[in-house]
Structure 1
Amino acid sequence: MRALVLASLGSLTGFPSIANAAETIVTKAPMAFLFEPGSGTILFAKEPDKPFAPGALVKVMTAATVFKALKDDELKLDQLCKVSEHAWRSGGAPSGRGATMFAAIKSEISVEDLLKGLLVHNGNDSAIILAECLDGSEDAFSKRMTDLAQTIGMTNSKFANPTGYPEVPSQTTVRDQARLGEYLVEEHDDLYPMFAIPEFTWNKIFQRNKNPLLGEIRNLDGLGGGNDPNDGFSGLGSVDRNGRRVIASVAGLTSDKHRLQTLKEVLEGAWDYFIVKTVFTAGETIADGRVHGGVESTVPLVSTRNIDVLLPNGETLEYRIRVVYEGPLQAPVEEGTKAGEIRVIGKDGIVYRAPVVTGQSVAEGTLFSRAIDGLQELLFGWIG
């Protein structure tokens, strides 16, 4: 068996143009990525895999790691965590290192309140307390963070601590950050609203949400921002507007104002420059897959859902459609068997992919027909 790549099925054309509108997003951000998780479409990418140190943006990954532990029943929301001297000195008021929830030394705080302290107060002490509560140390928790990142597809990320302190910086990319946002929205929809809690009072101290992006971008409900002394300001934003969610990540900015302006430009671009195009409807034949040893030599390959792709407005689009599958398929073939995937390919690579399945069953052929197929494969190979 070998991978067969079917020839391009054509270019996508015929979109209405928007007068006086740019064809795509333009941003001065050194790194930017815009993703639409509903269809899996990459809308914009600029240096998507260039590494940067995320600073306090790390706390989004810290939250994701705790969310995963809660989902796996390793922690409970009402479980109490003790505030160690290390957490108090390194992340609390005595540290003098900025954001804190002012957790008192040797006190016990619930996981739920610590998560609010992390996501509303941006508390460094919250991050350390959660790390120690789950794994006993920041180092062990950081390994858990990195392992989870690899598991969910953040292949170019490594986390050194739960706070984002720069002494030993973490590393990530804007593509990986967008993947993190998608993971949180899709896998932890019950806890995701914590990112948008407007304020939280702890120990009689009232603090508003310190996410610098909330309230500044319409319909934004997460996720966070960071700043590294060497790599500058970065941000990760998620917007749900009229049933469409997009996630954007930017990095390498010179100031918090520059970050906000850039992230707003990128996120708004999803509505300014893109429309939904239904490339294929559910059940429509996308391509024919070759079959070995069957009563039929081919089987239709279809999608189980509409192939809806967000693509730029314009009269002509340089996008190609391909189907990739492992073939030939061995008879008997059952209808609905996953066979490969459809890919929409732009100038910067694959912008959309979705699985394809067999659209009908193919019974096993006669001994003679199977022998002929075997001889053909031996002499000529299979051509898709």
Structure 2
Amino acid sequence: MMKHKFLSVMIIGVVLFLATASVQAIQPAKPSVDASSWLLMDYETGQIILEQNADEQLPPASLTKMMTSYIIADQLHRGNIKSDDKVLISENAWAQNPKLKGSSLMFVEVNKYVTVEDLHRGIVIQSGNDASIAMAEHIAGSEEAFADLMNQYAKRLGMNSTFFMNSTGLPHEQHQTTARDLAKLARALIKDFPEDYSMYAEREFTYNGITQQNRNELLGDTTLGVDGIKTGHTEAAGYCLVSSAEKQGMRLISVVMGTDSMGARAGESRKLLNYGFRFYTNVEAFAAGKALKQAQVWKGEEEQVGVGLAQSAVLTVLKSEKDQLKANYKLNGKLIAPIKKGQVVGEVYFHMGDTVVKRMPMVALDAVEEAGFFGRMWDSMALWFED
């Protein structure tokens, strides 16, 4: 039996939901941040809330150790190394190596064995350059080979403006990254290895009878919920801090580079985190798998198919503007069977006023098989007349 289909012009940009405030939302003033480069990101959505000079390449100092730690965590989870592996400390990694004098150290001793777990903590909590070199040599054979590995990981994580020359962050003119890339790394560190990330919240670590405090000044701030991540300082880099904090179910990541003191990097980071928690929230606009509409299908066994999102749409928005969020959709064209479940058939775009804040692919929520000969022929004729 031939199916009846309505010949219609596809409507582009039908509003899926719309809630407009009767008065214009109040816009909070952006904070003034005294740093060379800075950024504030929402962890869940990856959206950038605020930024300044976020793509400027700068020396990262010990923020480099975030990547060193990420690789250690990845190698542990792959089973390539184990926490109780014993690492022989080379003269190159030795705390008394002249090139390490005056830098942050775990104080490992040459020709001694130290476990991977202790070295990992020495990197994260004590920011030990000696521990970083020891682990670089253990994983890759040499620090040079490990730096190459770091750059491969950076590329995989989309850190396109980053280049590493060593595992520590000791000065080198080619050793550079950006605030944006560091935020990407921080997000990956938390998401990919949550158990290892918990180490970043530890306040102190004792090795060889020497207790050292975590240099992250914000860990003691109970009002913010800071549980990481890493400090850095060299003369060229200034004082830097990547922070992450969770409050009322929302996690933020801040990156501050090139401040002039420890107090400044903590204060400017606190300023950004407070601003984000005070004025922003996450809104789930649509759930994954929920039909946004029934779209017409041509030449198929079914006349319609539900279309929606493969992943839930969560957006970071100003609390004062969340009721102004709108979503429109656009089909890529007429839907002609066969159609696979999950096939991209259009796009959903979310906007505040004239500004598009997020785009997501719209997919078919079910498969539609091709109709029989007469059904296809009927629809071919209908499409011919419609065109």
TM-score by length of 1: 0.82
1:221-240 to structure 2, matched below 5 A, reads 221-240=227-246
Q: Decide whether aligned partners of structure 1 residues 303 and 247 sit closer, same or farther in structure 2, where only a CA change above 3 A counts.
A: same
Letter in 1 for 2:195: D
> Which segment is superposed worse, 321-330 or 205-214?
321-330
Contact 1:287 1:323 in 2 (8 A): no
Number of aligned residue pairs: 375
1:225-374 to structure 2, matched below 5 A, reads 225-286=231-292, 293-295=299-301, 299-304=305-310, 306-314=312-320, 321=327, 331-337=337-343, 342-344=348-350, 351-352=357-358, 356-367=362-373, 370=376
Q: Deviations over 1:210-232 (max 9, x none)?
A: 23432247211111122343343
Contact 2:287 2:311 in 1 (8 A): yes
**In structure 1, what is the equivalent of residue 7 of structure 2?**
none
Instruction: Please report how far the alpha carbon of residue 233 of structure 1 lies from its aligned counterpart in structure 2 after TM superposition.
Output: 2.8
Q: CA RMSD in A?
A: 3.7
TM-score by length of 2: 0.82
| Alignment counterpart, residue 183 of structure 1, candidates 182, 188, 192 | 188
> Which segment is superposed worse, 139-148 or 306-315?
306-315
Matched, 1:199 2:204: yes
Q: Deviations over 1:27-48 (max 9, x none)?
A: 3444322222323433223333
**In structure 2, what is the equivalent of residue 133 of structure 1?**
138
**In structure 2, what is the equivalent of residue 104 of structure 1?**
109
Q: Decide whether aligned partners of structure 1 residues 68 and 352 sit closer, same or farther in structure 2, where only a CA change above 3 A counts.
A: farther
**In structure 2, what is the equivalent of residue 3 of structure 1?**
none
**In structure 2, what is the equivalent of residue 47 of structure 1?**
53
Matched, 1:213 2:225: no
Matched, 1:165 2:170: yes
Question: Quick check: which has more Rg, 1 or 2?
Answer: 2
Instruction: Please report how far the alpha carbon of residue 76 of structure 1 lies from its aligned counterpart in structure 2 after TM superposition.
Output: 0.6
Instruction: Please report how far the alpha carbon of residue 359 of structure 1 lies from its aligned counterpart in structure 2 after TM superposition.
Output: 2.7
Contact 1:37 1:182 in 2 (8 A): yes
Q: Decide whether aligned partners of structure 1 residues 21 and 344 sit closer, same or farther in structure 2, where only a CA change above 3 A counts.
A: closer
Q: Decide whether aligned partners of structure 1 residues 60 and 375 sit closer, same or farther in structure 2, where only a CA change above 3 A counts.
A: farther
Q: Decide whether aligned partners of structure 1 residues 226 and 364 sit closer, same or farther in structure 2, where only a CA change above 3 A counts.
A: same
Q: Decide whether aligned partners of structure 1 residues 304 and 19 sit closer, same or farther in structure 2, where only a CA change above 3 A counts.
A: closer
- The alignment partner of 2:267 has SS state of helix
Q: Higher relative contact order at CA 8 Å, sep ≥6: structure 1 or structure 2?
A: 1
Q: d(CA) in 1 for partners of 2:73 and 2:293?
A: 41
Letter in 2 for 1:27: V
Instruction: Please report how far the alpha carbon of residue 133 of structure 1 lies from its aligned counterpart in structure 2 after TM superposition.
Output: 0.6
Q: d(CA) in 1 for partners of 2:99 and 2:319?
A: 54
Instruction: Please report how far the alpha carbon of residue 136 of structure 1 lies from its aligned counterpart in structure 2 after TM superposition.
Output: 1.0
State the identity %. Answer: 28
Instruction: Please report how far the alpha carbon of residue 371 of structure 1 lies from its aligned counterpart in structure 2 after TM superposition.
Output: 6.3
- The alignment partner of 2:72 has SS state of helix
